[in-house]
Structure 1
């Protein structure tokens, strides 16, 4: 049995989330965008609706810390909004709407990873 590091589990979860988002027709514009205030996991565009989507990815191997709904606190949403504003300020494109989503990836309970996509969390 192979033991995975937290970084490897996180990278796998993020790739599965990106695959999920692209299967929905979203175009991934950026991944792991960092600035001095933090990091945005995935930035995607929903071109037909001209919506920019900032996606927080949460990968879990157990339910020890609660489900995806508990993973993003009001403080985390505030931080994501701030980071989204900084990303938008550094990119001149115009968007009709901005959305923050959370994609939860649960690995290990079943043969296939479970994906939960919460739209417009904040």
Structure 2
């Protein structure tokens, strides 16, 4: 902080060039300002807030961190390996079987039909 007075415009917004800015005299920081009566209650409010934080917020935060750590542990050591197992031994064979069925049931008949149509039109040798 400096000892120089601050220059502020009397109204909010840009300063009016017609009126010169007024200087606010610097006040002594040791004297209480009558515009701030709630300043005396701040230490009490801070103490109550800290107490609430210690009694309510801290246990909830610790419980949340414990649940998050357990979730990470389960995902890393249980869900991840189970997912890899299912993908390799269940999903991959099912996809392979679906691809084989699609080839035999859809693509081969379509290929044979296209040969017949092209032969009937004389476009195939």
The TM-score normalised by the length of structure 2 is 0.20
The TM-score normalised by the length of structure 1 is 0.20
Bigger relative contact order (CA 8 A; separation at least 6): 1
* Between structures 1 and 2, the one with greater strand share: 1
* Between structures 1 and 2, the one with greater helix share: 2
Q: Which has the larger radius of gyration?
A: 2
